[in-house]
Amino acid sequence: MRQRVDATTPACSDEIPYVTRELEPIREKVLNGRRLSREDGLVLFQAQDVLGLGSLARWYARRRHGPCVYYVVNGHINYSNYCTLACAFCSFYRRKGKDPRPGGFELSVDEVLHQADEIARSGATEIHGVGALHPEFPFRYYVDLLRAIRQRHPRVGLKFFTAVEIYHIGKVGGLSPREALLALQEAGLDTLPGGGAEILDDGVRSVICAGKETSAEWLALHRTAHQLGIRSNATMLYGHIETLAQRVDHMLRLRELQDDTGGFLAFVPLSYHPVNNVLKVEHGPGAIDELRTHAIARLMLDNFAHVKAYWVTLTIPVAQIALAYGASDFDGTVLQEKVHHMAGARSPQALSVADLQRLICEAGGEPVERDHLYRRIRRGGGALDWRVA
Ligand code: V47
């Protein structure tokens, strides 16, 4: 499963990216295919030359993917927001029976299936399903949910449950994380979303998500998934109390695991939204910080195929510009997202395929529809008329 730089991808720009003097040594390393160090990452986070950084990251992304920018027709299902944890950054969760705030919900398997039907009818090739650590759902619920969707929609990729949910589901079923993953895989699980990574630093975690699995546990779960052939994403929640060094270290820990397994598909930076939660941070990251973070991720994570510009958290204009800062995946149509909209995201509820294609073209990219495994999708006339190319 080891991933490699795709040497067959056509180089699309031979132009040497222009950078000011402070970034010249790093440019030399990037142009010569040498891995960036922790110190390089810190230099990049402090560099004045944000445009130079962006052009270097864009050059690197184009060397790997040519002009291709990937998108997916997908929808989100949140099966519940009742949670046994109370992460300070999270605006999504509610405590069942104990929360004075309105907005708690839990869906039956039939209700989840109904949402899956609607998403599949729209022509989706992927369903992204996350919830919370529900205090009462039995192990069967999770297996039945996947099996029901898998039976009704055998071709749709099921990207379900963060690492933290997998630990919870395993505990509920009296299973080890590996056994839980195997049972879920047997029921239809294809890939894991990258959530729950937050910042892979246990000091930061003890403030922003006390009680959640440790950094090592998050990484261990993804390692196990990769060993079972379940590929996954990795997120980073940034722009709250973490330091820039902790962001670099987060990337390095992911890079190390990817060297071992090659199982990660994409890195997804998630900019922090400070509304409706108790973490005392006045504002999330600004656009320059967001663009810088995407570009640095592109350069540091040399063994990840894609950095995702997740327009839901970035806003559409910043996500579009992130395509000039090394991102090569615009995510998707994203029907029915809740986690970030409840935290104050002001982006729309969904984008049409025509919008995604237009935004990518306008940024100088060539839109390529992908599925949950980044395989190209070819479409015929109707919404359901699609196949892996
Ligand atoms: O783990 C929660 C984040 C994640 C806030 O894998 C917040 O393709 C910002 O993982 N401000 C869940 N972020 C969502 C997630 C995800 C989303 C899109 C694509 C993929 C993928 C994965 O959302 C959580 C947490 O890191 N989150 N609250 C907030 N206030």
Please, which contacts does 91-100 make with residues 24 or more away whose CB atoms are closer than 8 Å? Answer: 91/273, 91/275, 91/276, 91/277, 91/342, 91/343, 91/344, 92/132, 92/338, 92/339, 92/342, 92/343, 93/132, 96/134, 96/135, 96/136
For the domain 72-388, what is the CATH code? 3.20.20.70
Ligand 1 binding pocket mutation candidate from 130, 161, 204, 237 (most atoms within 8 A of CB): 237
Q: What angle do CA 225, 229, 235 make, to 5 degrees?
A: 45
Dist. CA 104 → ligand 1 center (Å): 18
Q: What angle do CA 80, 344, 329 make, to 5 degrees?
A: 80
Residue 93 Cβ < 6 Å to ligand 1: no
Percent helix, strand, coil in the chain, to 5, is: 40, 15, 45
The C-alpha atoms of residue 37 and residue 40 are separated, in whole angstroms, by 5
Q: Residue with the nearest Cα to atom 17 of ligand 1?
A: 195
Three-state SS annotation for 252-303 = HHHHHHHHHHCCEEEEEEEECCCCCCCCCCCCCCCHHHHHHHHHHHHHHCCC
Any bridge partners for residue 106, and if so which? 80
**What is the pLDDT tens value at each position of the chain, 389 positions in all?**
444 444 334 444 568 899 999 999 999 999 999 999 999 999 999 999 999 999 999 999 999 999 999 999 999 999 999 999 999 999 999 999 999 999 999 999 999 999 999 999 999 999 999 999 999 999 999 999 999 999 999 999 999 999 999 999 999 999 999 999 999 999 999 999 999 999 999 999 999 999 999 999 999 999 999 999 999 999 999 999 999 999 999 999 999 999 999 999 999 999 999 999 999 899 999 999 999 999 999 999 999 999 999 999 999 999 999 999 999 999 999 988 899 999 999 898 889 999 999 999 999 999 999 999 999 999 998 999 999 99
The full set of domain ranges for the chain reads: 72-388
